[in-house]
Amino acid sequence: MPVPGPRPVVWAPRARIIEVLVPYDPYEEPEHMPLRLVGAGEPGYWGADSVLGHGTDYGYSVDGGPLLPDPRSVWLPQGIHGPTRVFDPAFEWTDGTWSPPDLSTSVLMHVDVETFTPEGTLDAAARLLPTVAEMGLHGVELAPVAAFDPALGPSRGVRLYSVHEPYGGPRALQRFVDAAHAAGLAVVLDIPYRWAVADELGLEAYGPYLMGGGGRPRAPRPDLGDAGEHAVQAMRPRTGQVPLDRPRTGPIQLRTGQVPSIGTRAGKVPSAPTVRTDYVGDRINLEGSGSRGPRDFLVDDARHWLREYHVDGLVLDVDALVDRSPNPFLGELADYVVGLGEQLDRRFSLLVDGPGRSDRLTSILLRILSGPGRTEDIQALQMLADLVHPSVRRATRQNGGRRSRVRAGASVVEDITRLPATQLTVPWAGEESPATALLAVDDVDIRASVLATVILAGNPLVLDTVHAPVVPRNDNERRLVRWARDLIAIRHGVAEELDLPLEIRSSADRSVIAVLRGTLAFVLNTGHGLAALRLGSLLRPAEGAVKAPLPGSYRLAAAWEPGATRLVGDTLTVPPRMTAVLRADA
């Protein structure tokens, strides 16, 4: 049953009457089209016997109530409380030969449509994609594009399936993804799960979308203006309808295919629980009575973005998706994406993120750069280096009791690093995020050091336009762009070494930090004076190390201040608050 689609289908297990009202005209009586229960195979679902044409406006009325948009609205040109408009996803794609890169060690540029360009539209952002590609990036991460009320902001509710009309609507997103693939860039999309069931959306009129939300008071409807109120009155169903029996609901057998549980690698001590238990906010009903409907709602949403918009991956806010059911939703979602990848012969990625995950390195860097020389910061950096790797689960499906790898399917990427500005435009951004303090440091040398540290960290990275400006406005920003391009090229050159363990070393006064992995060494001078370092001491192989580079084999590969950063013989000179990158000869 394709949902959403041209045939109105809605999940409303508590309703006695569901009507579709078309066409939508504020001053005329609409046509009333009663829905019928789909059948025992899809309990709680109501459907129409006919389809609606592309561009048709409609709304649902539940048990004689006022106009409500379709919970799976794709196109909302009159706002999130206005009518749903039928959208035909047919599009002349040009990415038939596109094959996405492996996102497990990728470098992405974060694109917040509203601030990425002065126009604040997807089409304007698409024009900058060739520039992004020139920096050597693998793709872009789109901040949430789901429609929201501009007067209240997305945190007060988003229509999960839709594309915000001021950004250009659903067709603009298709053009954006097609342009990204043409430029050689993958597209991953943030899904704002924790904003998807807010009271203002009125989803509880349809069914138990919220955990424990069945008896909660409804929020007052927003002021729609005179024309909007006329429209709501016109779309009220006619009286005299004969109530139908309330449909029965019950447990539904789930698919048996599973993926490995999402967590840390075997042998790794987790730095934080896989999911937090102190989540505050409206929680999607994934384990309570009637949870099959919300689960279908989220699985269909993933299919919607991956199939109709050709996005290459989704960023999962795992704290908003936690449940304690025997069949955790995250496993069900990954299982479905595996099957979809097999069906479409495409490789998808699911990136796991949430509070306290992608901002761990930023937190430590802020302390190191603001107060160098503290032993606990070096220890924290080493602990993070031990925990964070390009941790990837290759999803498999269960067939006849036997698991086997799939040629196309999904990978679950567990550890991400975000530069500060990207942390403030994701749904789980907190007011106490260390990103705020680090962004307030308007020092180009510190920004260059932060950029070098995270790019060479190894796990998937999301850059921001503060540390890697896509459209540089002055000489310092142009320097940052060149620096980012050089660092990304070095990262590409050591791609096969990014899964090797990291070793953190420091000078005696702990003002200089060296990070070693394979043939690469990164040196950060956090102090306020010139540092002269003997490579024979700082980079000597650890006792018992096998195939470790000798100090004399290192060469200066990149430096933020190449004139003042020198490697003469065995001595490396690094200016204060600056970085140097060394590469050993093969």
pLDDT, residue 279, reads: 56
pLDDT attached to residue 310: 97
What is the reported pLDDT for 79? 94
Q: In the prediction, which pLDDT does 121 show?
A: 98
The pLDDT value recorded for residue 244 is 27
Q: What is the pLDDT of residue 506?
A: 86
Q: Which two tokens stand for residue 348?
A: 């998808």
Give the pLDDT score at 356: 75
In the prediction, which pLDDT does 361 show? 79
pLDDT band at 394 (very low <50, low <70, confident <90, very high): low
Output the pLDDT for position 399. 46
pLDDT of residue 409: 63
Q: How many angstroms separate the first and last alpha carbons of the chain?
A: 56
pLDDT in tens, 34-81: 999 988 678 899 999 889 999 999 999 999 888 899 999 999 999 999
Q: What is the pTM of this model?
A: 0.85
Instruction: Evaluate if residue 369 carries a pLDDT over 60.
Output: yes
Look at residue 25 in the predicted model and tell me its pLDDT. 64
The average pLDDT across 214-226 equals 44
* Candidate ranges 323-337, 439-453, 535-549; pick with highest mean pLDDT: 323-337
The CATH number that domain 501-584 falls under is: 2.60.40.1180
Residue 400 banded pLDDT, cuts 50, 70, 90: very low
pLDDT digits (tens, 9 = 90+) for 94-112: 999 999 998 888 999 999 9
User: Higher confidence at residue 422 or residue 249?
Assistant: 422
Q: Is the pLDDT of residue 235 over 90?
A: no
In this predicted structure, what is the pLDDT of residue 429? 79
Question: What SS3 class is residue 44?
Answer: coil
In the chain, where are the structural domains located? 501-584
Q: Mean pLDDT across the stretch 162-186?
A: 98
Comparing 440 with 315, which gets the higher pLDDT?
315
What is the band of 228 on the pLDDT scale with cuts at 50, 70, 90? Answer: very low
Residue 243 has pLDDT above 50, yes or no: no
> What is the DSSP track for 78-137?
T-TTS-EE----------TT-----GGG-EEEEE-HHHHSSS-SHHHHHTTHHHHHHTT-
31-34 vs 84-85, strand pairing mode: unpaired
Q: Which residue has the higher pLDDT, 191 or 211?
A: 191
Q: Is the pLDDT of residue 381 over 90?
A: no
Between the alpha carbon of residue 462 and those of residues 165, 354, 417, 423, the distances in Å are: 26, 14, 6, 9
Q: Which residue has the higher pLDDT, 541 or 248?
A: 541
Residue bearing the bigger pLDDT, 416 or 363 = 416
Examine the pLDDT at 203 and tell me if it is beyond 80. Answer: yes
**Poorest-pLDDT segment among 261-265, 467-471, 478-482, 540-544:** 261-265
Largest CA-CA distance found in the chain, in angstroms, rounded: 93
CA atoms within 13 A on the CB side of 158: 22
Distance, in Å, from the CA atom of 556 to the CA atom of 180, rounded to the nearest integer, reads 34
β-bridge pairing 578-584 and 36-37: unpaired
Tens of pLDDT, residues 311-361: 999 999 888 998 888 889 998 998 899 889 989 989 899 998 888 777 777
Q: What is the pLDDT of residues 9-26, one digit of tens each?
A: 999 999 999 999 886 666
Per-residue confidence (pLDDT) for residue 74, from 0 to 100: 96
Beta bridge partners of 79: none
User: What integer is the mean pLDDT of 378-389?
Assistant: 71
* HSE-CB of 147 using CA atoms within 13 angstroms: 26
Predicted confidence band of residue 534 (pLDDT cuts 50, 70, 90) = very high
Q: Residue 397: is its pLDDT beyond 70?
A: no
Residue 358's contacts (CB-CB under 8 Å, 6 or more residues apart) are 416, 417, 418, 423, 462
Residue 544's Cβ-count burial label (10 Å; 0-12, 13-18, 19+) is exposed
- What pLDDT, on the 0 to 100 scale, is given for residue 527? 84
